[in-house]
Structure 1
Amino acid sequence: MPENRRPLPIGVFDSGVGGLTVLRALRQRLPKEDLLYLGDMARLPYGTKSPQTVARYACQAAEVLVGRGIKLLVVACNTASALALDALRERFPALPVIGVLEPGAAAACAATRSGRIAVIATESTVRGGAYARAIAALRPDAAVSSAACPLFVSLAEEGWHDGPVVEAVARHYLEPLLETAAPDVLVLGCTHFPVFTATLKTLVGPQTALVDSASTTAETVAAILTREDLANAASRAGGSRYLTTDAPERFARVAAAFLDPEQAPTQVELVDL
């Protein structure tokens, strides 16, 4: 790794396009930084895979980004953040590795008034109980309930962000959770889920705050760049590059809905893991 790492990009990866919600927050918080994003579209979704498979996929994706030269890795996938951080930090001991789960838990604890927090996520994230543990570490008195919402990932990847189908799926997943848990915070525990914010707000009502990890993760990254003296000192605005393991044209089309217009990818490079 070069001695002067400040000009190197920040690497970001997810199983698909959902992690672009984190990239968007990074761009807003750190406008001078270059960003290199990898979406593992060929092996989407991670949320139904075993912990061993998720860790293997995450390390392979990280290898590509590290091979391009990065100064920090953001795991913009809640499932990989729950199951693969230890493996990634062991594989790349000199590289700061940041997940999105702990920042999301911190944001939930800061937002709740009653201590009743609901989490919607992928099957693997819910089954592993990572959010409940992370929230309990910050607020032991919190009551955490969870629901797996696997169809949300497929809908987001297809570009279906609202409408009758999304509303029906959201009601199917959330109504039992809202009735039994009565939360005042709903954690969007998958980076794909913020695209459904409008539908979810209508369903949960004004008494329940929606929390996702994107902005909190960006703040965590900014703090680490400052602490480790890794912030880019260039006066120019940073750029974004995009890699995918499958269907670059589809990636670009769907990604446009996750990003500000000036961030939408015009070129997406196909890579093989």
Structure 2
Amino acid sequence: MDKPIGVIDSGVGGLTVVHELMRQLPREKLIYLGDTLRCPYGPRTPEEIRGFTWEMVEFLLTKDIKMLVIACNTATAYTLSELQEQLTIPVVGVIQPGARAAIKSTINNHVGIIGTEGTVRSKAYSIALNMIKPNLNISALACPAFVPLVEQGMLSGNVAMKTVEESLFALRDFKAMDTLILGCTHYPLLKDVIQEVVGPQVTLISSSEETARETSTILEVNQLLNEGLAPCYHQFYTTGDVDMFTTLTKRIFNSSIDNLRSVSIEKAVI
């Protein structure tokens, strides 16, 4: 089926998932929407998160997508179940794939989680981890400064290092952990800095690869894979500044992306 896969995120972080989807599913068309105007979602109330997420979903549904990937941990935590129940297309989030990857990785059963305030507050990762392996030692920490850092394009250098060091200071109490989940799709863009701060003994887990693998499986099971040979024409949308979005996409894809547009998806308040 040559219909596109829709991918949503609160900003640019979900492009790390898009990059992996492109690698694993080169025949699939992708339509990405990043709500950079209202990013970050982490400090938002559950009601705001649900409302913003549904606005993104409704926009992509007008594009006749065949599947939805929620490439945002916060949105996954608060909306995955209801989206799966109410939509007629398959919906996958990033938390379950990330949890599975962490369990495969850990040797000493001590897993750390860093994420937005909303994701950590939801305890979605802890629940997902314990459902698979009940006896894990789990340590969770909110890092609200990371998303603004990424959205501003500060992925390395002194400011990035200082921010990460200060944010992860509490992780010094978690020295026994051998695996750390990057519980926000923005965080892999800071992976090198985070790795330097926590040390080489800690394996960093990004859910991007596992999410793409799960997407592939769901498409195959539902007979939705695109078997055509025509070149894929991807579409990218942002609710915010196009220039900043373009700058960050160049760092992720090592090249410019085509067909990027700014859109408004906010519903009018009467």
Secondary structure of residue in 2 paired with 1:32: coil
Q: 1:202 aligns with which of 185, 196, 212?
A: 196
Shift of 1:202: 1.3
- Structure 1 position 188 matched with structure 2 position 182: yes
Matches within 5 A, 1:120-199: 120-199=114-193
Matched, 1:268 2:260: yes
- Structure 2 unaligned regions, length at least 5: 266-270
State which of 83, 91, 96 in structure 1 corresponds to 2:86: 91
Flag the 1:260–1:28 CA change in 2: closer, same or farther, 3 A.
farther
Q: TM-score, normalised by structure 2?
A: 0.95
Equivalent residue for 1:11, pick from 6, 15, 28: 6
2:49 matches 1:50: no
One-letter identity of the residue aligned with 2:205: V
What does the per-residue CA deviation read over 1:100-119, in whole Å, with 9 as the maximum and x for residues that have no partner?
01100110011000110000
Counterpart-to-counterpart distance in 2, 1:191 and 1:64 = 21
Matched, 1:40 2:35: yes
1:181 deviates by 5.0
TM-score for the superposition, normalised by structure 1: 0.94
Contact 2:9/2:33 (CA < 8 Å) preserved in 1? yes
Q: Secondary structure at the match of 1:221?
A: helix
Q: Which residue of 1 aligns with 2:268?
A: none
* AA matched with 1:160: M
Q: Distance between the aligned counterparts of 1:24 and 1:176, measured in 2? A: 31
Shift of 1:182: 2.1
Local SS of the residue matching 2:264? coil
Over aligned residues, Cα RMSD in angstroms?
A: 1.2
Q: Which amino acid aligns with 1:169?
A: T
- Name the CA distance, whole Å, in 2 between partners of 1:185 and 1:20: 23
CA contact (8 A) 2:102 2:179 kept: yes
Distance in 1 (CA, whole Å) between partners of 2:135 and 2:48 is 33
Aligned length: 265
Partner of 1:3: none
The answer to whether structure 1 residue 24 and structure 2 residue 19 are counterparts is yes
What is the Cα deviation at residue 260 of structure 1?
Answer: 3.8
CA distance in 1, matches of 2:137, 2:242: 42
Which residue pairs with 1:105 in the alignment? 99
Q: Secondary structure at the match of 1:222?
A: helix
Are 2:238 and 2:263, in contact at CA under 8 Å, matched by a contact in 1?
Answer: yes
1:211 equivalenced with 2:202 (yes/no): no
